Structure 1
């Protein structure tokens, strides 16, 4: 008997990366996966999760985009956070990431068509993260040349706190999202 390889989620659901498909997309799996993964492949001065990054991005966009901004990296809960240089080397990964993102978008009825403000917020968060969490990364990142970091420094959350904050933000943003 041949079985398709899968990744088991926090709640015991299965993600099949070779197909790709997810038995059941669950917000707790997403929140948990994002909260317990460190950004930048862990090359930061302290633990800083994808969940907290998503919270920062969501706060930087207009209210009608908060739900999409909060969920903009949700595929990483299933795939992990691959650093940009590796994504360039592995174009098939980007295709899989897009497919998983589409599954999540369909599940939560997310429209990413108005993505420019989310991308700008993502870059502002990135500039702030580079300044506050990667003090030894003094090299220029050209795509941040016109991006000013936030004035206030990032205070990193532990994974459990980030997960709870992500779930609370999800509840708030999802309520607004459903009412539109």
Structure 2
């Protein structure tokens, strides 16, 4: 018996993450999911969601990278989840799948892929800021210098969704 590769999203549409299409992109679905998806495998002292991470990153990057900051984790909101980097690297093909899906998402709003590449340093550095704040004991990331000026507030899911949605509208990625 053949396995159906599609997954059911919150908009009640079945999508195939292995062959994600521009027509599958629904930012309302991603925003809601990212507002409920924990960072750091849920190992933080209080719930810390991907949506808060995206909003805080958006606020710290150069203006030309703001849309990319909002988009950079949206594949996680379409079913790929926030998987720790060592696990991602160990799962054969996972990083390629994530990158392929993100390229489709960037293409759906004509965001240059170069911005994703440029954004990576900021994403790594904000992780260093977060790790100093989200665990019971501050964790100093060995390889990344913190961006600085980032305060984790441990927003609830409703605030995460509200703040992320506002920025998607502001950047023209979503209409009200």
List alignment gaps of at least 5 residues for structure 2.
none
- 8 Å contact kept, 2:7–2:16: yes
Q: How does 1:3-152 map to 2 (within 5 A)?
A: 4-21=4-21, 24-78=24-78, 79-115=80-116, 117-136=118-137, 138=139, 141-144=141-144, 147-151=145-149
Distance verdict in 2 for CA 1:65–1:151, change over 3 Å: closer
Distance verdict in 2 for CA 1:155–1:56, change over 3 Å: same
The offset of 1:149, in angstroms, is 4.8
The offset of 1:52, in angstroms, is 0.9
Q: Separation in 2 of the partners of 1:59 and 1:91?
A: 34
The offset of 1:117, in angstroms, is 4.7
The offset of 1:23, in angstroms, is 5.2
Find the counterpart in structure 2 of residue 178 from structure 1.
Answer: none
Q: Separation in 2 of the partners of 1:150 and 1:38?
A: 22
Aligned residue for 1:5, secondary structure, equals: coil
Q: Separation in 1 of the partners of 2:150 and 2:21?
A: 40
Find the counterpart in structure 2 of residue 158 from structure 1.
Answer: 156
Distance verdict in 2 for CA 1:62–1:141, change over 3 Å: closer
Aligned residue for 2:15, secondary structure, equals: strand
- Count of residue correspondences: 172
- 8 Å contact kept, 1:55–1:70: yes
TM-score, reference length from structure 2: 0.86
The offset of 1:72, in angstroms, is 0.9
List alignment gaps of at least 5 residues for structure 1.
176-180
Distance verdict in 2 for CA 1:63–1:13, change over 3 Å: same
